[in-house]
Structure 1
Amino acid sequence: MGPSRRGALVGTPLLVVGVALAASNLRPAVTSMASVLGEVRDDLGASAAWTSVLTAVPTICFGLAAVAAPLLGRRLGMARAVAVALAVLTAGLVLRIVDGPWVVLGGTFVAAAGIAIGNVLIPVVVKESFPHAVGRVTGVYTAALAAGGGIGAAFTPPLEPLVGGWRGAVGAWALLSAAALVVWLAGARHGEPRPSGRAAGAGAERRPMLRRPLAWVVTAFFGLQACVAYVAMGWLSEMFVSVGVTRTDAGLMLAAINLIGIPLSFLIPPVALNRPSQSGWIVGLACCSLVAVAGLAVAPAAAPWLWTILLGTGMAVFPLGLGVIALRTRDAAETTDLSAMAQGIGYLVGAAGPFLFGMLHGVTGSWTPSLVLLGVVIVVEMVLGWVAGRPRYV
Structure 2
Amino acid sequence: MHKVVPKSLFICALILIALNLRAPFTSVFPLLDDLKLRLDMSSQQAGLLSSIPLLAFAIFSPIAAIIAKKISLETTISLGLLTIIAGLCLRAWIRIDHLLIGTALIGVGIAIINVLLPSVIKQYFPNITSPLTALYILMMGIGAAINSSIVVPLSSIHFSSITLSGLPIALLAMLPVCLFALLVWLPIQLKRTLINNSEYAQQTPPIWKRPLAWKITVFFGLNSSFNYIFISWYPAMLTSVGYSVETAGLYHGVLQLASAIPALVMAPLMLRYQSMTAYCVFALVTAILGIVGLLFFPPLALWSGILFGMGAGCGFTLGLSFITLKTSTPFQAVALSGMAQSIGYFLASFAPFLAGYLHETSHQWNSTLIAMLAITPIWATCGLLICKSQRI
TM range (shorter): over 0.9
Q: Secondary structure at the match of 2:391?
A: coil
| Corresponding residue of 2:284 | 286
TM-score by length of 2: 0.93
* Distance in 2 separating the partners of 1:131 and 1:205: 19
| Corresponding residue of 1:364 | 362
- Counterpart of 1:87, as a letter, is L
| Corresponding residue of 2:240 | 242
* Distance in 2 separating the partners of 1:287 and 1:306: 14
| Corresponding residue of 1:185 | 186
| Residues 123, 195 of structure 1: alpha-carbon distance in 2 compared, 3 angstrom cutoff | closer
Equivalent residue in structure 2 for 1:315, among 293, 312, 315: 312
1:96 matched to 2:94? The reply is: no
| Corresponding residue of 2:161 | none
Q: Secondary structure at the match of 1:133?
A: helix
* Distance in 1 separating the partners of 2:357 and 2:118: 33
Aligned 8 A contact 1:26 1:145 in 2: yes
Give, in angstroms, the shift of residue 58 of structure 1.
1.3
Give, in angstroms, the shift of residue 333 of structure 1.
0.6
* Distance in 1 separating the partners of 2:350 and 2:281: 22
| Residues 350, 274 of structure 1: alpha-carbon distance in 2 compared, 3 angstrom cutoff | farther
- Counterpart of 2:296, as a letter, is V
Q: Secondary structure at the match of 1:46?
A: coil
| Corresponding residue of 1:257 | 255
1:166 matched to 2:139? The reply is: no
Summarize deviations over 1:80-99 as a string: whole Å, max 9, x none. Answer: 11110000001001112214
| Residues 44, 141 of structure 1: alpha-carbon distance in 2 compared, 3 angstrom cutoff | same
| Residues 354, 56 of structure 1: alpha-carbon distance in 2 compared, 3 angstrom cutoff | same
Which ranges of structure 1 fall in alignment gaps of 5 or more residues?
A: 1-5
Q: Equivalent residues in 2 for 1:12-23 (5 A)?
A: 12-23=7-18
Equivalent residue in structure 2 for 1:123, among 113, 118, 123: 118
Summarize deviations over 1:116-152 as a string: whole Å, max 9, x none. Answer: 0011111111111111111221122111111111112
Give, in angstroms, the shift of residue 320 of structure 1.
1.2
Q: Secondary structure at the match of 1:123?
A: helix
Q: Which moved more, 1:83-92 or 1:41-50?
A: 41-50
1:331 matched to 2:329? The reply is: yes
Q: Which moved more, 1:79-88 or 1:99-108?
A: 99-108
1:25 matched to 2:20? The reply is: yes
Equivalent residue in structure 1 for 2:69, among 74, 78, 91: 74
Q: What is the CA RMSD across the aligned residues, in angstroms?
A: 2.0
- Counterpart of 1:342, as a letter, is A
Give, in angstroms, the shift of residue 342 of structure 1.
0.3
1:142 matched to 2:143? The reply is: no
| Residues 262, 292 of structure 1: alpha-carbon distance in 2 compared, 3 angstrom cutoff | closer
Aligned 8 A contact 1:27 1:152 in 2: no
| Residues 205, 303 of structure 1: alpha-carbon distance in 2 compared, 3 angstrom cutoff | closer
Equivalent residue in structure 1 for 2:225, among 224, 227, 233: 227
| Residues 357, 9 of structure 1: alpha-carbon distance in 2 compared, 3 angstrom cutoff | farther
* Distance in 1 separating the partners of 2:168 and 2:33: 13
* Distance in 2 separating the partners of 1:183 and 1:378: 40
Q: Secondary structure at the match of 2:305?
A: helix
User: Identity, % of aligned pairs?
Assistant: 28
Summarize deviations over 1:369-392 as a string: whole Å, max 9, x none. Answer: 110111123332111111122241
Q: Equivalent residues in 2 for 1:268-307 (5 A)?
A: 268-272=266-270, 275-300=273-298, 302-307=299-304
Which ranges of structure 2 fall in alignment gaps of 5 or more residues?
A: 159-164
Count, aligned residues = 385
- Counterpart of 1:387, as a letter, is L
Aligned 8 A contact 1:62 1:344 in 2: yes
